[in-house]
Amino acid sequence: MRRENGPGRRIFRCLLVVLGLAAATLFFVPASPVQADSPKVLVAAAANLRPVLGELAAAFSRRGLPCRIEPVFGASGILCTEILEGASFDLFLSADRSYPQRLAEKGLGRPNQVFIYAYGQLALWVGKWTGVSMGRPEEVLLDRRIGRIALANPSHAPYGCAALVALDQAGLTEKIRDKLVYAEDVTGAMSLALSRAVEAALVPLSVAREARREGWYTVWSAAGIPRVEQGGIILSGSVCARAFRDFLLSSEGQAILERHGYLRVKETKRGA
């Protein structure tokens, strides 16, 4: 059974093993096929959503609403800081709940606008070229053929923090500390693995699945490993932003997220 540590305790445990690391770079990718003059929804999106947000935007556009989804991808903590410093977005889709809640507490959006749209899962990905066979993550990471392990910067990336919590609970933190290589976000961690700069990566299941031809992956599902509660918040009065949020929580939106490795949340009707 999952041990209930609470978000505060998990963050504290993560911070115990995190030193200040470099800031992440943001990436802009237009994702929706609707007309350019349609009202746009500027979405600050966690990097782990890169493999799925285009499909979500396309499905949303087929509902006939004149809305154009434009995502900016990056580490959740960096996006949160950008918003606090004045960056203008209609919707923030984080890789955890704490960053949207922080914005709500600062008066950006309303507290009752924070919502959970998916539960993510941490995965271990290992390159096929290493010759390491699939097994329990706790055993694989100790293999001498695994010289370097990439993960997202845990100081601002929730999946990096989740990876450190998993390593800590498995008693691996000290044993493999020298193997750890920090990337700016989960996309960067996976890029290091695909370029063979590292042999393994601790990334969201959604990201690991995209690289299944080059390596094998397994969900880190040991007892005590928390699922990653991914939250969002509406930051403007955009009708399209509210409609896209409702789509994410709909059965169609949840089915798309599930196909990409996320766990469903209970569908909830949301007011304006």
pLDDT digits (tens, 9 = 90+) for 96-117: 999 999 999 999 986 678 999 9
The reported pLDDT for the residue numbered 255 is 97
> H/E/C letters for each residue in the chain?
CCCCCCHHHHHHHHHHCCCCCCCCCCEECCCCCCCCCCCEEEEEEEHHHHHHHHHHHHHHHCCCCCCEEEEEEECHHHHHHHHHCCCCCCEEECCCCHHHHHHHHCCCCCHHHCEEEEEECEEEEEEHHHCCCCCCHHHHCCCCCCCCEEEECCCCCHHHHHHHHHHHHCCCHHHHHHHEEEECCHHHHHHHHHCCCCCEEEEEHHHHHHCCCCEEEEECCCCCCCCEEEEEEECCCCHHHHHHHHHHHCHHHHHHHHHCCCECCCCCCCCC
The size of the chain, in residues, is 272
Q: What is the mean pLDDT of the chain?
A: 85
- The pLDDT-based confidence of 65 (bands split at 50, 70, 90) is confident
The domain limits of the chain are 31-119+228-259, 122-219
Q: What pLDDT band is residue 223 in, cutting at 50, 70 and 90?
A: low
pLDDT reported for residue 36: 53
Q: What is the pLDDT of residue 135?
A: 86
pLDDT score recorded for residue 22: 35
Mean pLDDT of 210-234: 87
Q: What is the residue whose two structure tokens read 């209930």?
A: 4
Q: Please report, for residues 22, 141, 178, the alpha-carbon distance to residue 182 in angstroms, rounded to integers and kept in the order given.
A: 9, 16, 11
Average pLDDT value for residue range 108-136: 90
Does 228 belong to an annotated binding site? no
The confidence score (pLDDT) of residue 14 equals 60
Per-residue pLDDT at 3 exceeds 50: no
Question: 15-55: per-residue pLDDT in tens?
Answer: 444 433 333 333 334 444 445 556 899 999 999 999 999 99
For residue 67, what pLDDT is reported?
93
- Same fold across 31-119+228-259 and 122-219: yes
Mean pLDDT of all residues in 178-204: 96
What is the mean pLDDT of the segment spanning 143-154? 95
CA distance 154 to 161: 4
Q: Which of 132, 142, 120, 69 is nearest to 229 (CA)?
A: 120
| Per-residue exposure over 140-161, b if at least 16 CB sit within 10 Å of its own CB, e if not | bbebeebebbbbbbbbbbbbbb
Query: What does pTM read for this prediction?
Result: 0.82
The overall longest dimension of the chain from CA atoms, in Å, is 55
Inform me whether the pLDDT recorded for 180 exceeds 80: yes
Q: With CA atoms as reference, report the closest residue to 244 among 77, 102, 61, 85.
A: 61
Candidate CATH numbers 3.40.190.10, 3.90.480.20, 3.20.20.70, 3.30.1280.10; the one for domain 31-119+228-259: 3.40.190.10
User: What is the per-residue pLDDT for 26?
Assistant: 37
In 3D space, the residue among 174, 163, 179 whose CA is nearest the CA of residue 225 turns out to be: 163
Q: What is the mean pLDDT of residues 183-197?
A: 96
The annotation status of 32 as a binding-site residue, yes or no, is: no
Q: Does the domain made of 122-219 have the CATH classification 3.30.930.10? A: no
Q: Does the structure show a pLDDT above 90 at 12?
A: no
